[in-house]
Amino acid sequence: MSPSFDSARAAVIGGGPAGLMAAEALAQHGVQVDVYDAMPSVGRKFLMAGKGGMNITHSEALEPFLDRYGARRPQIAPLLDTFGPDALRAWLHRLGVETFVGSSGRVFPTDMKAAPMLRAWLHRLRETGVRFHMRHKWLGWSEQSNRAGSHATRHTLRFATPEGERTLTCDAVVFALGGASWPRLGSDAAWVPLMSAREVPVAPLRPANCGFDAGWSPYLRERFAGQPLKPVAITVTDIDKKVHNRQGEILLTETGLEGSLIYALSAAIRERILADGEVTIALDLAPGLTLERVIAEVTWPRGSRSMSSHLHGRIGIGGVKLALLHEILSKEAFADTNHLAHAIKSLPVRLTRARPIEEAISSAGGIQFEALDAQLMIERLPGAFCAGEMLDWEAPTGGYLLTACLASGLVAGRGALAYLEARGASV
């Protein structure tokens, strides 16, 4: 191993939104910040997420916004008090990025693109003196660096680089290495055993905002995979017996179901599968109609028309919705008009497993908040802070993920700044 190649005031490990926000919080106060990332460039997952339209945050009221964080609402709320949706939009405006609110309440940049926003942000960071080190993969601490529970004041970190293994010694470090989704873009969870070796408690990483397998027949897979089911409503009971019901759009895939509505309920579905081995959700294929109306329409005399034509003509059930009814109901049940009407309003769909975490939009689990102080410093490792998807929380798509990642990065960066100031460092 070569000797230490640098000595920094503060290091940020991970060049995603959380890491960049931490770097900004430090650099704005004159701290020399070095950002290290294993990939050839920063923000790769951020750019990928923005390809379909860069959803930044959401415009809904704060209370329902906070509810999106589920069991971790108490831990996320203080972060959003520091940097919430309104503050995020104001920050973007100062960056030169104008935003608008879409029909769904989601907030987007006016050009709908992530790349111009990232370019402007990186330009501002470089102007404040932030230095970027690409293709630097964090390998852990050196043997002489502070161990869990010690009060050593500096961190000596090891990196794999194109020139071989090298070390860095810094006064404070912010870890923002992401979770385990989309590992090809850098979030490969290689940090988990490194943190665990330092006795930092890490909740198992699990897929979030993911699809689920349903075991379709070859006919349904071949004819209807990739088609949307809309509008529909889903009802699912979570492990705490709380009933969740949401309306929106889902996508039928080769293996099962995914889409925004599934993502919104993925935590409840996933935890039921983990507890029980499977879960049966109820799909309402006609959410705009009451059960009584559906019964009346389905049982209406159809004359010589087939049931399929009758359903399409009376209540607009056709295509993939009709195929799904045939997939799940027996011939006898489909022919029983009363049973069919009830199935249209509450079709039982059995889901057996979440798709692999590598396919998920995000991940749940990570470093537990109970191991951190209010400024997101690891209490067993003074001077080491964590932000973003490394932390044990999850949220649905819709801007909630990015908002909390940025907020946690800001809090961690400010925490590192306060740590340096408390040590009497000149910042």
DSSP 184: G
Residue 385 is predicted with a pLDDT of: 98
- Phi, psi for 244 (deg, rounded to 5): -110, 135
Residue 398 is predicted with a pLDDT of: 87
Contacts of 395 (CB under 8 A, 6+ apart): 68, 69, 70, 76, 362, 401, 404
- Phi, psi for 401 (deg, rounded to 5): -65, -50
Interior angle at CA 319, CA 313 and CA 324, nearest 5: 110
Contacts of 349 (CB under 8 A, 6+ apart): 214, 257, 280, 281, 282, 283, 324, 328
Average pLDDT, stretch 127-141? 97
Higher pLDDT, 154 or 326: 326
Beta strands in 177-306 (DSSP E): 202-208, 212-213, 227-237, 243-252, 256-258, 279-284
- Other CB atoms closer than 10 Å to residue 193's CB: what's the count? 11
What is the distance between the alpha carbons of residues 311 and 345, in angstroms, rounded to a whole number? 13
In sign, the C-alpha dihedral spanning 97, 393, 250, 241 is negative
Q: What percent of the chain has pLDDT over 70?
A: 95
Least confidently predicted of 50-54, 87-91, 234-238: 50-54
Residue 145 is predicted with a pLDDT of: 60
In sign, the C-alpha dihedral spanning 241, 242, 248, 249 is negative
Beta-bridge partner residues of 10: 33, 172
Average pLDDT, stretch 266-277? 96
Residue 6 is predicted with a pLDDT of: 43
Residue 146 is predicted with a pLDDT of: 53
Average pLDDT, rounded, for the chain: 93
Average pLDDT, stretch 373-400? 96
pLDDT confidence band for 326 (50 / 70 / 90): very high
Instruction: Give domain limits for the chain.
Output: 6-207+364-422, 212-354
- Other CB atoms closer than 10 Å to residue 146's CB: what's the count? 19
pLDDT confidence band for 425 (50 / 70 / 90): low
Contacts of 346 (CB under 8 A, 6+ apart): 235, 282, 283, 284
Tell me which amino acid residue 12 is: V
Which element (helix H / strand E) includes 66? helix 62-67
What is the distance between the alpha carbons of residues 247 and 224, in angstroms, rounded to a whole number? 21
- pLDDT at residue 7 is higher than 80: no
Beta-bridge partner residues of 174: 12, 385
Average pLDDT, stretch 14-31? 96
Residue 3 is predicted with a pLDDT of: 33
Average pLDDT, stretch 226-248? 96
Residue 70 Cα to chain centre, angstroms: 13
- pLDDT at residue 364 is higher than 70: yes
pLDDT confidence band for 8 (50 / 70 / 90): low
Contacts of 3 (CB under 8 A, 6+ apart): 167
Least confidently predicted of 72-81, 178-187, 315-324: 178-187
Residue 49 is predicted with a pLDDT of: 81
The class level of CATH for 6-207+364-422 reads alpha beta
Residue 5 is predicted with a pLDDT of: 35
Higher pLDDT, 149 or 273: 273
What is the distance between the alpha carbons of residues 348 and 345, in angstroms, rounded to a whole number? 10
Buried b / exposed e over 396-424, threshold 16 CB at 10 Å, is bbbbbbbbbbbbbbbbbbbbbbebbeeee
- pLDDT at residue 152 is higher than 60: no
What is the distance between the alpha carbons of residues 172 and 192, in angstroms, rounded to a whole number? 20
Tell me which amino acid residue 143 is: E
Residue 1 is predicted with a pLDDT of: 34
